[in-house]
């Protein structure tokens, strides 16, 4: 066995390693790019899903935007209040309290309640289905098409198809807004997580047409508007709308609703 | 010149790095969801492999052969490639933030890609060395590296194009996700097998 071979091998590898190391250290000093140290701290607080819910290209991009003052400290919808506060502390500003939101599908037209007018055998994607003449296989053109485009875009597995309509799991929902953008019927809305009463219909048709299409639609009878003592419910274009700022959660509207389309959330 | 063209075509199409040698399958399956990101990945791979073939070729010919340490090629090449990618990343970050942004996370990912190490080891195996070819060895190594990386880019971009279309297809449940992707890769490999008569 040639001991010199071992020594020279170790020596050469060692020298190469050392040279490479010095080269990298030199390069790091030479090509050093100034970054805001707050940017790195903010980045370490962000969730790191890179969901893009904030509107930036990812968590890195949002961290840079927050550090430069371009974005709000509570801009991350996923991290919510807790992350917003921690970031505000780093940035040295007051955190405005943000209300936790959740996505909500404004349709209750499950398979047993809504009626069909045709059969659709095309691509199982809502954005494809709406370009077919007639828009949807259901009689109601405003409601959930039920091909699950929102289910596919949700990065948090918070939407599922239940009985032919999309249903949001509010606990899993991070209110990133991807489904809101994806729905071709603009059916999904971000509502406060705590809001108790929500109108589960999107139809602007008159009462007769709604009744013909679906058992769970808003017929625009204005019973809820009259029942509300706080002026939180308004009916426009044959559709009730609840202002969550004014709503105190008394439940008078849901009680009076003849089609039971005002949903009572228990949370 | 003719020799270099043959090396290029051979590396890019006939012995396609992904589809007939099964190198670099991880990014091939992982980063092939969209044509845009697939093309960025391909660009980063071309960049890194071309540079590291040149560096590895020089180090092999003038350091390892000289000290009769050819058996250490694997460990030295890993060291050199990792350092080189780091260096290139720092250099790009300083001088060309646009390109750095475009390559993004893919540049450091490639550091540990077996396709990169595979190419430089193959360069030695195919005897593109100073002892065999003189200074032309450097050119042959670089051309082989570039061709291989171009082959990778071709494969991953085609794959991404197919996957973008598959996304809207009504795929039977058992085939959804990874199985349909692997089947696609399999059919692509069969198609690329047709190039084997080219040279």
ipTM of the complex model:
0.70
Q: Is the pLDDT of residue B134 over 70?
A: yes
Query: What pLDDT, on a 0 to 100 scale, did the predictor assign at position A96?
Result: 56
What mean pLDDT, rounded, does chain A reach? Answer: 84
Backbone phi and psi for residue A156, each to the nearest 5 degrees, phi listed first:
-115, 10
* Contact status, residue B130 vs residue B61, Cβ threshold 8 Å: yes
Note which residues in 108-147 of chain B have CB less than 8 A from chain A: none
Residue B173 touches chain A, beta carbons under 8 Å:
no
Supply the CATH classification number for the domain A37-91: 1.10.15.40
Fold of A101-264: Alpha-Beta Plaits (3.30.70)
Query: What pLDDT, on a 0 to 100 scale, did the predictor assign at position B187?
Result: 94
Least confident of A82-91, A107-116, B10-19, B70-79: A82-91
Of A245, A240, A267, A243, give the one whose Cα is nearest residue A256.
A240
Q: Which residue has the higher pLDDT, B120 or A58?
A: B120
CB pairs under 8 A between A and B: 50
Sequence-distant (6+) residues with CB within 8 A of A256 are A223, A224, A226, A227
Distance, CA of B15 to chain centre: 12
Q: Is the pLDDT of residue A171 over 90?
A: no
Query: What pLDDT, on a 0 to 100 scale, did the predictor assign at position A18?
Result: 93
Residue B169 touches chain A, beta carbons under 8 Å:
yes
Min Cα–Cα distance to chain B from A30, Å? 9
Containing structural domain, residue B160: 2-197
CB contact under 8 A, A13 and B83: no
Residue B187 touches chain A, beta carbons under 8 Å:
no
Query: What pLDDT, on a 0 to 100 scale, did the predictor assign at position B105?
Result: 67
Least confident of A47-51, A100-104, A225-229, B178-182: A47-51
* Contact status, residue A234 vs residue A240, Cβ threshold 8 Å: yes
Q: Is the pLDDT of residue B142 over 60?
A: yes
Task: For B93-130, give one letter per residue: b (16+ CB within 10 A) or e.
Answer: beeeeeebeebbebbebbbebebbbbbbbbbbeeebbb
E strands in chain A: 101-105, 159-162, 165-168, 188-192, 197-199, 233-236, 239-242, 262-264
Min Cα–Cα distance to chain B from A253, Å? 42
Q: Domain count for chain B, please give it.
A: 1
For the residues B145-164, what does the mean pLDDT come to? 94
- Percent of all residues in chain A with a pLDDT value above 90, rounded to a whole number: 4
Query: What pLDDT, on a 0 to 100 scale, did the predictor assign at position B159?
Result: 94
Query: What pLDDT, on a 0 to 100 scale, did the predictor assign at position B149?
Result: 94
Beta-sheet pairing, A159-162 with A165-168 = antiparallel
Mean pLDDT highest for which of B70-74, B103-107, B157-161?
Answer: B157-161
- Percent of all residues in chain B with a pLDDT value above 90, rounded to a whole number: 27
Query: Domain boundaries in chain A?
Result: 37-91, 101-264
How many Å apart are CA B128 and CA A224, to the nearest integer? 83
What is the model's pTM?
0.61
Q: Is the pLDDT of residue A97 over 70?
A: no
What mean pLDDT, rounded, does chain B reach? Answer: 87
Q: Is the pLDDT of residue B199 over 90?
A: no
pLDDT band at A98 (very low <50, low <70, confident <90, very high): low
Q: Is the pLDDT of residue B178 over 70?
A: yes
Q: B169 to chain A: which residues are within 8 Å by CB?
A: 123
Q: Is the pLDDT of residue A266 over 70?
A: no
How many Å apart are CA A110 and CA A99, to the nearest integer? 30
Question: Closest residue of B to A8, CA-based?
Answer: B67
- Percent of all residues in chain B with a pLDDT value above 70, rounded to a whole number: 98
What confidence tens digit (pLDDT) does each residue in A4-39 have?
A: 888 888 888 899 899 989 988 998 888 887 777 788
Q: A5 to chain B: which residues are within 8 Å by CB?
A: 68
């Amino acid at each position: 066995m040639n001991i010199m071979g071992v020594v020279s091998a170790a020596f050469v590898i060692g020298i190469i390693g050392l040279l490479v190391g010095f080269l990298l250290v030199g390069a790091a000093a030479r090509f050093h790019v100034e970054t805001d140290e707050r940017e790195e701290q903010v980045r370490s607080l962000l969730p790191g899903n890179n969901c893009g819910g904030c509107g930036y290209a990812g968590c890195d991009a949002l961290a840079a935007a927050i550090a430069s003052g371009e974005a709000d400290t509570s801009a991350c919808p996923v991290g919510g209040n807790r992350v917003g506060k921690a970031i505000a502390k780093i940035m040295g500003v007051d955190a405005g309290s943000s209300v936790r939101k959740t996505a909500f599908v404004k349709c209750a037209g499950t398979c047993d309640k809504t009626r069909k007018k045709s059969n659709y055998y095309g691509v199982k994607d809502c954005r494809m289905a709406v370009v077919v003449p007639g828009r949807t296989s259901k009689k109601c053109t405003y409601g959930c098409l039920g091909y699950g485009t929102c289910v596919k875009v949700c990065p948090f597995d918070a939407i599922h198809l239940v009985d032919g309509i999309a249903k949001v799991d509010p606990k899993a929902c991070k209110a990133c807004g991807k489904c809101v953008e994806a729905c071709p019927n603009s059916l999904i809305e971000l509502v406060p997580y705590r809001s108790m009463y929500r109108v589960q219909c999107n139809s602007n048709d008159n009462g007769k047409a709604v009744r013909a299409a679906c058992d769970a639609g808003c017929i625009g009878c204005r019973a809820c508007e009259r029942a509300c003592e706080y002026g939180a419910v308004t009916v426009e274009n044959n559709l009730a709308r609840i202002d969550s700022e004014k709503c105190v959660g008394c439940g008078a509207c849901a009680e009076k609703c003849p089609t039971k389309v005002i949903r009572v959330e228990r949370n | 010149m003719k020799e270099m063209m043959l090396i290029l075509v051979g590396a890019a199409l006939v012995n396609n790095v992904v589809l007939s040698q099964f190198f670099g399958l991880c990014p091939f399956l992982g980063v092939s969801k969209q044509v845009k990101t697939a093309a960025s990945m391909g660009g980063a791979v071309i960049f890194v492999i071309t540079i590291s073939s040149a560096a590895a070729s020089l180090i092999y010919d003038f350091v390892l052969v000289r000290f009769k340490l050819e058996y250490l090629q694997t460990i030295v090449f890993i060291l050199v490639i990792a350092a080189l990618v780091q260096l290139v990343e720092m250099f790009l970050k300083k001088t060309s933030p646009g390109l750095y942004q475009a390559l993004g996370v893919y540049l450091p990912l490639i550091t540990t890609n077996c396709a990169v190490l595979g190419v430089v080891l193959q360069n030695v195996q195919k005897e593109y060395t100073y002892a065999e070819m003189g200074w032309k060895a450097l050119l042959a190594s670089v051309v082989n590296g570039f061709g291989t990386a171009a082959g990778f880019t071709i494969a991953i971009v085609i794959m991404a194009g197919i996957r973008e279309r598959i996304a809207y297809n009504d795929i039977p449940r058992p085939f959804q996700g990874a199985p349909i992707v692997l089947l696609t890769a399999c059919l692509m490999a069969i198609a690329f097998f047709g190039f084997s008569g080219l040279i």
